[in-house]
Structure 1
């Protein structure tokens, strides 16, 4: 059965907020996200670099932490107020969800937890405020990323993940399912009024597939691809440019020096009105993945960033997607 959003959750999640990555070469990763992607460096220490999009007033949306191994350390979401942090603590304690309060630089009250499928998350209610750069056009670089928009997580159990997050108030905007049923292969969920803040897709997980920044227009994607090629990262264009059926987004995916995946995208739509039903896609419908353009490669489908200490499990549903390699083999 397709999960239904809880209209009255005990606390209010407002948006995708920030992602924390472990990187093995801090300076090289900084240069990639600053010069190839186009993010703004907010602050640097010997162990941590904070970056943000051009229109963001929050101190950071990407945190790079010097690490021995390349892992996705945490996915961050904002809640509305400090009281929502307290309410989340009470809810998780009653539900038996692993959680702990932590101190995070430049963040207000922060609660870290593990969802039922092993995704390592944190909520925060506030951040230090910095100047927006959206009108500093002389400082625009690469893809001109404006703001963090969403995450996609690979999970072994899409149904369980979706039930948990819709129970916390997220709404399904689109989903993929076995033809003729509601057996979930992927769910696109939102709280901020566009198509997604958090996505779960079927596969070996839990792993972070990608995090995504909104860019001003389609030409920004092409410019980012040109910059990546000029700076020696052309082979790290993982997919695109192209247009997804799901979310209607133009997209470009890149891999950083540790092979974490970042998406630049444009043009998804509003999903605000409560009476609007989610869009359903049969798993057999290839247009869900791309309205035009070639299928994704093996590495786009099967590679992703692991969470530290979380065992990766095989998916409950199994199928072989059509990859670029199999597509070319058939034509």
Structure 2
């Protein structure tokens, strides 16, 4: 059973917008995202690098911030709202519920609001951003996997149902969800009319499991892995290429030089119509969460980037997924 969705929320979040990561070596991280994934640098200085996908007109979808001592954490995940007035409504909404909300100055963005959800996930809301020309048909500038646009985040939460209920009140709908009996384990939620902006998975959190970019061609998923190997990041190809069970997309997961996990995948189906019901997946029937291939390594299920300043909260019951290590242990001897 999923929580009810407010289809007319108090303010209008439109999509996943941008993510801010801390890194130990800005040049090394820039090399990974530009030359392996194919992102484009919009602006940079000695401590910050702003990047976007080839199909993105807005100034940045990924911000790398140099932090030699605190590298490997996520500062904030960003969501866009439709109108500037939505920010004022969001400010009042969060304050009325006793949740943090403060105005900040953010380069290349319009008015920006920092808020947190009930488990402490730090969010950044803005309505406007400077623009740059899209480069999706400037093929001479293509590098790496030709990543096109930021699509979604996956976060860990100690209680998937409770956090799903919070985002449902903000108008997020579910495309698919994973249950064990009547226990909600994962919720795949969206605002922009394709099947995912925010995935919530029950585990120790809040933490950022991964963020994901789309690619235009399925072969670009392999290209990401090839370039990771060429550039010396081959051991960071953590999972895939494979095909998801939920959703059915082709994918690969890579770890950047600071351990942040990024997914490249080949797009989503459309979910705009209100009569379309979420698809329920039974955890007991999903041994690998993929259509074919072996399960992921245990670290894929448990390792994630912590959020700066957000204490980790364990779930009431620790998950016990079918990892590759467990799968091999349970195989009968020949």
TM-score by shorter chain over 0.5: yes
Aligned to 2:98: 96
Alignment deviations for residues 213-266 of structure 1 (CA, whole Å, 9 cap, x no partner): 000121010111111112211110010000111121111000001000000001
Separation in 1, partners of 2:128, 2:4: 28
Q: 1:71 aligns with which of 64, 73, 88?
A: 73
Aligned to 1:170: 172
State which drifts further: 185-194 or 222-231: 222-231
State which drifts further: 287-296 or 167-176: 287-296
Aligned to 1:274: 274
Aligned to 2:115: 113
Aligned to 1:226: 226
User: Does residue 158 of the first structure (1) align with residue 151 of the second (2)?
Assistant: no
User: Does residue 311 of the first structure (1) align with residue 311 of the second (2)?
Assistant: yes
Matches of residues 206-245 of structure 1 in structure 2 within 5 Å? 206-245=206-245
Alignment deviations for residues 28-49 of structure 1 (CA, whole Å, 9 cap, x no partner): 1111111111100111111110
Aligned to 1:248: 248
Q: Is the 8 A contact 1:29 1:256 kept in 2?
A: yes
Aligned to 1:132: 134
Aligned to 2:205: 205
Give the Å deviation of 1:4: 1.7
Aligned to 2:53: 53
State which drifts further: 142-151 or 265-274: 265-274
Aligned to 1:5: 5
Alignment deviations for residues 156-183 of structure 1 (CA, whole Å, 9 cap, x no partner): 111111011010001011101112x2x2
Aligned to 2:43: 43
Separation in 1, partners of 2:128, 2:248: 31
**1:34 match: secondary structure:** helix
Q: Across the two proteins, how many residue pairs are aligned to each other? A: 329
Separation in 1, partners of 2:218, 2:243: 10
Q: Is the 8 A contact 1:245 1:287 kept in 2?
A: no
**2:120 match: secondary structure:** coil
Give the Å deviation of 1:288: 7.1
**1:28 match: secondary structure:** helix
Per the normalisation by structure 1, the TM-score is 0.97
Aligned to 1:21: 21
Q: Which runs of 4+ in 1 moved over 6 A?
A: none
Separation in 2, partners of 1:89, 1:288: 41
Alignment deviations for residues 74-100 of structure 1 (CA, whole Å, 9 cap, x no partner): 000000011000110111121111111
Separation in 2, partners of 1:31, 1:77: 26
Aligned to 1:265: 265
Segments of 5+ residues of structure 2 without an aligned counterpart are none
Q: Is the 8 A contact 2:203 2:319 kept in 1?
A: no
Segments of 5+ residues of structure 1 without an aligned counterpart are none
RMSD in angstroms over aligned alpha carbons?
A: 1.1
Separation in 2, partners of 1:249, 1:211: 15
Give the Å deviation of 1:315: 1.1
Per the normalisation by structure 2, the TM-score is 0.96
Separation in 2, partners of 1:134, 1:287: 37
Alignment deviations for residues 101-157 of structure 1 (CA, whole Å, 9 cap, x no partner): 111000011111110112111110010010110011111111110000000001111
Give the Å deviation of 1:287: 6.1
Separation in 2, partners of 1:285, 1:45: 49
Aligned to 1:283: 283
